[in-house]
Amino acid sequence: MKAAVLREINKPLEIEDVQCGNPGPREVLVRTMAAGVCHSDLHFQNGSYPYPLPAVLGHESAGIVEAVGDMVTYVKPGDHVITCLSAFCGHCEHCLTGHMSLCQEPELQRPPTEPSRLAKGDENIAQFLNLSSFAEMMLVHEHAIAKVRDDMPWAQAALIGCGVTTGVGAVIHTAAVEPGSSVAIIGCGGVGLSAINGAAIAGAARIIAVDMVPSKLDLARKFGATDVVNAGECDPVEAVRELTGGGVHYSFEAIGLKPTTEQAFKMLARGGTATIIGMIPVGTMIDLHGPEFLMERKIQGSNMGSNRFRVDMPRFVDFYLQGRLHLDDLISRKIKLEDVNEGMEALKTGEIARSVIMFD
C-alpha cells in the first residue's frame, strides 16, 4: 500500500510502498477513506514532540472496515468507522473512572515479540499514535475506532477523529461550560473553531474568538462567536476584559504557545477556568502570577477533549447531519496522498482550517 513516511525530522514525508499486516486478535483492518492534515502531525514532523522514526504519520481519519481479527465483536467488514488516537483498554484505573482519553496501556500496540503492524521489507515502520492514517490501510486495535452511520460524508467524518472531538470535548467535557456563561477561545484553527462551535452548543452567552488572521475571525462568527478580537491590533487580554467587564468564566488556548497560554489565564474573571488545548512544545515553561490564584482562577490541561469517543463521535455525526456542527467550513481543500507535504506546509501559514486527504 502507499503511505507517507517520515524518516527525518524537518524533512518532507516520502510516499513509499509499505506492507500492512493481517489483523490479529482484537485488531481491525480499515481501508482509509479520508485523513485530515492536523497541526499535531506538524509538531511531530518538526521535532517538537520526539517520536520513533521512520513512522507513518496521520491520526485524524475515517474509513471502511476491511477485515477483523479473532475476538472482535464490535465491528464487521463494511462498517463505517472514525478512528481515535486515544485508544482505550477498558480496564485500567483511568478507563474505569471514566477518563478513557488518559489510558496508556501498552496492550493497544503489538508487543515487540510480534511482527510490526507496518513494515517495508525487513524494516519496521513505527505506527503513529496507534493509527498511521496517511496510508491506504490502517491496522488498529478495535478500541481505536468508533462505528458511525453510513450516510456521514468521509471528509467531515475524518475531522471528528481529532480536531472536532478535541475542541468540542474540551468545552463540554473538560471545562463543562455552563449555559449563559462567557467564553474566550484563543486560536481559530480547526480545534479552536470546534471549541467555538462547542461553546455555542453548550449554550454560552458570550463567545469571544481571538486570532490574528481576519479571515479566521470571519469564519469564527459562522461557528458561533458573538465577538472577535484581532490580537494583532490590540492587547487581547485587555480587549476581552473590556468586552466582559472583568474577564470570562472560561478561556481556551488552542494554539500551543507560551504567551497565549499565559494570556488565557490572565483574561479570566474571578473564579474562572483556563483550559489549555494546544500542544505546547516539550521543555516550555509557563509563567503565572501567583497572587492571581487567590482569586480562585484555575488552569488545566485537556487531552483529546477528555473524550468518551465511542459515545461522543456518533453524537457529533448526528450534530453535523442536523446542521449543528459546521464541519463543511473546517475543510479548506481536499487533496491526494501525494500532496500531503503541501498540506503540511499550508499549516505553517496559519491561513487555513484543514486540508483533507481523500483516498480513492
Compute the radius of gyration of the chain from its Cα atoms. 20
> Are 23 and 142 in contact, with CB atoms under 8 Å apart?
no
> Are 101 and 302 in contact, with CB atoms under 8 Å apart?
no
Nearest to 60 by CA among 48, 44, 49, 47: 44
Distance between CA atoms of 125 and 121, rounded to whole angstroms?
A: 10
Can 59 be counted among the known catalytic residues? yes
Can 38 be counted among the known catalytic residues? yes
Q: Tell me which of 20, 39, 43, 306 is the catalytic residue.
A: 43
> Are 84 and 145 in contact, with CB atoms under 8 Å apart?
yes
Can 39 be counted among the known catalytic residues? no
Give the up-direction half-sphere exposure of residue 333: CA atoms within 13 A in the CB hemisphere: 12
> Read out DSSP for 202-271?
HT-SEEEEEES-HHHHHHHHHHT-SEEEETTTS-HHHHHHHHHTS-EEEEEE-S--HHHHHHHHHTEEEE
Q: Tell me which of 59, 141, 249, 326 is the catalytic residue.
A: 59
> Are 272 and 248 in contact, with CB atoms under 8 Å apart?
yes
Cell of 171: 468545552
Which H or E run contains 198? helix 190-202
Q: Tell me which of 20, 84, 103, 162 is the catalytic residue.
A: 162
What is the distance, to the nearest Å, from the Cα of residue 30 to the centroid of all Cα atoms in its chain? 20
Output the CA–CA distances (angstroms, integers) from residue 192 to 148, 169, 277, 310, 348, in the order listed. 24, 11, 9, 22, 16
Nearest to 240 by CA among 215, 213, 211: 211
Q: Tell me which of 20, 38, 84, 188 is the catalytic residue.
A: 38
Query: Is the bond leading into 54 cis (omega within 30 degrees of zero)?
Result: yes
Active site residue ranges: 38, 40, 43, 59, 162
